[in-house]
Structure 1
């Protein structure tokens, strides 16, 4: 009976594991669970399980699938492996339980379910007999200790949660280790120029600290007491996750000798400082997460040597500023997450060593992020391939030109914070921008040329700001617009040319105090009362109903709750007031002028050109009418004289004069020759 209860508890724990926001893949039918009754211990469940259902595999797929599809993740297939999940309760039973495990295990999950006061210790040497083990997960309650006394050479994936890591005294460490700084040559531009105003990384000593003199034996004993964990000898390790394990100090020898390590997670360990060359022993790292720690200063030597790093997560730390001393060369970095850091300033040349970065996230509610240009340099210089930029808590009285200089490949820009106004050419040079989200920014004023040059814009979100009017000509250059969101502002009217965009599908205008009049006759419910839904797959099928060619199409659905309402008619619907109370008649359909192309010109110049064309058209009409009248008079005179005899004589006389003048000209020409 006790065995059945334990097995049921293990199955429930496996099914109730916390699910993070990870991508879900198309799963193949799972193999039936096989219980190894003969060799599986009583406190364990042995079964064949899909490898990508393990927490460590789900975390890796989440870290590597931000931009790619499911087929590009590290563990996309449902490879089934032999898994044992065991409950650890008493320290005296741990060794006997581990020794009774099947020798052909491929994955082992150890769950410490005892109270925090119940101390439990696991040695890596007790797992070495599992000669096929490639995945190890140990999850404790804070009272579990993993003592690394021997390396696990065959292990590929390790996940440690809420346990303590210690190295044994008999653990063999690398001999004659060489500090990586001896071979590192990169220096920031300020260091090369000898700029002493830039703070250097140097050891800090207390002025009144007493120097403790100890013998060599005491020094060795002090090192033994520290018991710094070391993964030296774990040569095949590819994934290492140390989550909430109180690993608050890093040293470069800790991860030394891990050439196969690709993914490293050190979240929630209370790390305050990243020591120089802390990860240089794993030169092939692709993803590194130091999120939810206490890092207050980022120095470029801390991440030195990670030339293959693609994903860097430093979210929820204590960083306050970024400069050229923050990052070393990261030539393959694609995604950098710096959210929830109280960053106030981004100094020039900060991102000069991140030329291939595709996605960058910054900003926190704890501090205002100030955006401005530095002379001829922008704050995001050299990010020429950046496609997605998200900035939170941006605080500036005016978003000016030059702040986003150099972001010519940017496709998505999201701003949150407090922005007073957006000036002209604020997004100049961003020709690839498709989505611009400036909602919840408190914007009160927009320049008529704020979006000049942004010709590929498809989505414009200005919702929940303080806009009181939309300037004329704001969207004249945006012929690809599909969605415009202006809900939650203080708008009363719109320019009559606002609905001239040829590809508009959604225009959110609700939650505004509209002053309804007949100028709104060109408003369309099929645009204002619509919400954009998820994409729907549409396929062309053959005669048997099998899909041949499929594509995803964005869906749109009507929502009557989104209808704009009139503040001057007791909150009634705009279309009800136009139809029943104002009696404006048929809607006025406006078409864009085809007389000339004025795209890309300021609005004031467009008005002058329009007035000039109107004057030319009026002059042409007056001139054409006068010409028609003179032709009519001449025609009447010819008709009246056509039948007279003197008219015939005059015609012949005129013809003879023309022939005579032609002959004289020919004679003169021959004489000259």
Structure 2
């Protein structure tokens, strides 16, 4: 009996030892698999072209030798953590996210930044140490957020800050804003906080932070006065009727300065377009009339989109100053023709979109056709006759060609003295000279070589 039990215990011990040896092997295999997956993930994040993912919600790209970290439109609620970049990033783009608070050391690991774009978030609080370490930062965009107050201490870690945008925030111009307003009004800080206005209290509503007297903010008020200044009341500045481009539109500085004014309910081109804007989008508004010198200050524009506006009239000098414009989109409007001289300033235009307009093929359309003939390098599209019915669906170029081809024949039938003129001389230099003499005033005609005097 004892022999039998010992024989049974032996195999059981062997089975237990085998199972114990197999477990570490299984764990080791799982570990190896996890390691391989991590390595694959690391390889996926290695640089393989002009754009690559560096974090679950951001991508890295290089433009003109500068490294950009693009985290725009990613629904981020916090600032991203720093990663191991291929190069040190100079620009961090966080526009159009859902960030509400900038906490202390929010940009740790981004010490090489020279620009930081935080516009169009929901930021209502900036902790004093949020920008700690950004000693090289020159541009900070905080417009279109929910900031009510901001202390000067928040800007101290950025000694090289030269460009700060704060407009379209509900600034509460109370005593807590005293230090910031004083900083913005230092003459050397001329590009900090431009266009930002007070949202309250009532006695300073609408006033620019650059213009308000900071001494009034911390004055003691009488009980029940609700932050009014009893000694020196200030009337709010009336809101201008003409929209301002800087405050109405979204401006993106990188990689090139772009101004997005689309879907803003505009009825006219906004004023104050910055001189350095390269791309401007005015599409999907209600602009019916381009007036003279609307774009006079926008000397750097390369592309201009005015499509989907029900545009009916373009004044002669409306595009004045756009000497470097390369692309113009006038499609999906209500244009029937373009006045003579409208396009004369567009020396370097290379692309022109004209589709979905009710072009009328009569003599008024000839200027556009002739201008395109003279500027053969301009790639254009959409110039088709919509009326009158006999030319509907015909290209404007074909219409003008047929018009010129039939014109001499029409002139033959309309002449009252065709019996007195040799038809073989029509359309010759002699006939042209005769027509010019008929049209030209006598005092402007050149002297005749010969003068025939009839003697009776």
Please report the TM-score for the alignment, with normalisation by the length of structure 1: 0.35
Q: Which has the higher strand share?
A: 1
Larger Rg: 1
Please report the TM-score for the alignment, with normalisation by the length of structure 2: 0.48
